[in-house]
Structure 1
Amino acid sequence: MIVRIMGEGQRTLADSHVVELNRLDDELLAEMESGDEDGFRRTLGDLLDAVRRLGEPLPDDALEPSELILPAPDASLDEVRAMLSGDGLIPG
């Protein structure tokens, strides 16, 4: 799967990592719903760090379609809320 972090580029991740990403996505969604800004900030950082750690960067000149698009690290709670689907940032 190809994941884009806005402002950072794309990474390719094995589908086996979706479980870990979904766990973090569920935490992020709960923090957003409760208005926990500190928890939201921490978990967004953890989610993006997991993508960076588990994924392999694609070359800057690669133009592959992204299956997931994640917000930039400095995105606001409202900006991330606008990106959400019913399942959070990561479907499934």
Structure 2
Amino acid sequence: MIMRILGEGQYDVADGHLDRLNQLDSALQAAADEGDDTAFASALSALLDAVRSLGTPLPDERITPSDLVLPYETTSLPQLRELLSGEGLIPG
């Protein structure tokens, strides 16, 4: 799955890592639901760090459609709430 982190680039993440990413996404959703800014910032950072570490960066010159677009690391809780669905950022 190709994931884009806004402002950074794209990562090719193997489907085998989706369970772990969904766990992190659930923590992000819970923090957003609770309105906990500290937990939200930590959960967003953990999710993006996992994508960076589990995925393989794609070269900037390679133009590939993204399967999933993740927000900037500096995204605020109100901004993220606009992006979240009932499933979080990562479907499944």
What is the aligned partner in structure 2 of residue 76 from structure 1? 76
What is the aligned partner in structure 1 of residue 46 from structure 2? 46
Q: Which runs of 5+ in 2 are unaligned?
A: none
Q: CA deviation at 1:86?
A: 2.1
State the distance in 2 between where 1:86 and 1:61 align.
34
TM-score for the superposition, normalised by structure 1: 0.97
State the distance in 2 between where 1:10 and 1:2 align.
7
What is the aligned partner in structure 2 of residue 22 from structure 1? 22
Letter paired with 2:51: V
What is the aligned partner in structure 1 of residue 67 from structure 2? 67
**What RMSD in Å do the two structures reach over aligned CA positions?**
0.6
Query: 4+ residue runs of structure 1 moved beyond 4 angstroms?
Result: none
State the distance in 2 between where 1:79 and 1:69 align.
14
State the distance in 2 between where 1:44 and 1:58 align.
21
Q: CA deviation at 1:78?
A: 1.3
Q: Which runs of 5+ in 1 are unaligned?
A: none
TM-score for the superposition, normalised by structure 2: 0.97
Letter paired with 1:25: D
Q: CA deviation at 1:82?
A: 1.1
Q: Percent identity?
A: 53
Q: CA deviation at 1:31?
A: 0.5
Q: CA deviation at 1:27?
A: 0.5
Q: Structure 1 residue 11 and structure 2 residue 14: aligned?
A: no
CA-to-aligned-CA distance 1:34-68 (integer Å, 9 cap, x gap): 01100000010000000000000000011111111
